[in-house]
Amino acid sequence: MYEFGFTRPTSVADAVAAMGEEDAQALGGGQTLIPTLKQRLAMPVTLVSLSGIAEMQGIQSGDGQLVIGGATRHADVAAGAGAYPALAALAGGIGDPAVRNRGTIGGSLANNDPAACYPAAALASGATIVTNLREIGADEYFQGMFTTALEDGEIITAVRFPLPEAANYQKFLQPASRFAMVGVFVAKFADGVRVAVTGASEEGVFRWGEAEAALSANFTADAISGLSVPADGMIGDIHGSKSYRAHLVGVMTKRAVEAAA
């Protein structure tokens, strides 16, 4: 590590002001940023902790949606998102207890790791990412591996999830990291089905349109028999080849549909 300043604002306005300083970096739960600092892959002058901002914490449900504060921890989502059981179960399967009790939903979505779980939930749900400046639909928010629509100094204050008729998340995890080698979130709404895949693609989280069309017509696992995603563009590494991950996308989607239905 190295010497840096640290500030813990108690309001979004104060956090935005602190982020306006030169080389300031927002700190959520620190599950990605702290290891990055230790490796000196990032060297901000000041860390702006978001953990003390009460208006960015908590979970509320009503009017067919679930609203989660950006600084809400994974463990709190797992315990408090009962109105959206698939999302609560997803949060309960992130990392280990230490990660779940420090990491935040806003931090995860801002980082947009290609194998993170929350991006799949947000994209499949058609969620809205609320910042201090605007509201961004999930389809516009995710723009590639570790890339989002967030501008410099923009803070995720909340995430709004429409509540589906049925949903499920299935994750084939890498046992050491507990990240998803492939994770699939399926959400069925009155106007159709959305399917989002994480952990598989070199471009990060993505929607599987062909499966969405088939499942919107017939919400059963049989509807996607014979469908597959191309191996080209999938991640290939020591844990699994491109073709293996492409195969897993189909397997995990079927499991998610069976569990949801």
Which distant-in-sequence residues (6+ apart) come within 8 Å of 124 by Cβ?
A: 167, 185, 186, 187, 194, 195, 196, 207
The first and second tokens of residue 12, run together, are 């979004």
Alpha-carbon distance of 142 to 237, in angstroms, equals: 23
Assign 1 a pLDDT band (cuts: 50, 70, 90). low
**Both 45 and 73 in a single domain?**
no
Domain finish residue from 162, 179, 199: 162
The answer on 179 and 130 residing in a single domain is no
Q: Supply the pLDDT for residue 79.
A: 98
**80 and 129 fall within a common domain:** yes
C-alpha torsion sign, points 190, 191, 197, 198: negative
Q: Over the chain, what is the mean pLDDT? A: 94
Tens of pLDDT along 175-215?
Answer: 888 889 999 999 999 999 999 999 999 999 999 999 999 99
pLDDT tens, position by position, 77-119: 999 999 999 999 999 999 999 999 999 999 999 999 999 999 9
Share of the chain above pLDDT 90, in %: 81
Shared domain for 153 and 75, answered yes or no, is yes
Listed residue (259, 256, 206, 202) closest to 231, CA to CA: 202
Number of domains in the chain: 3
Instruction: Tell me how far apart the alpha carbons of residues 238 and 248 are, in angstroms, rounded to a whole number.
Output: 16
The average pLDDT across 24-29 equals 84
- Distance, CA of 163 to CA of 87 (rounded, Å): 10
CA atoms within 13 A on the CB side of 183: 32
Confidence class for position 2, pLDDT limits 50, 70, 90: low
CATH number at residue 246: 3.30.390.50
170 and 132 in a single domain? The answer is no
Domain that holds residue 33: 5-49
| Residues 213, 127 share a domain | no
> pTM of this prediction?
0.95
Q: What band does 4 get if pLDDT is binned at 50, 70 and 90?
A: confident
Residues 62 and 9 in one domain: no
Same domain for 78 and 136: yes
Across 64-75, average pLDDT? 98
- Residue 47, pLDDT above cutoff 90: no
CA distance 200 to 148: 18
CB–CB of 25/48 below 8 Å?
yes
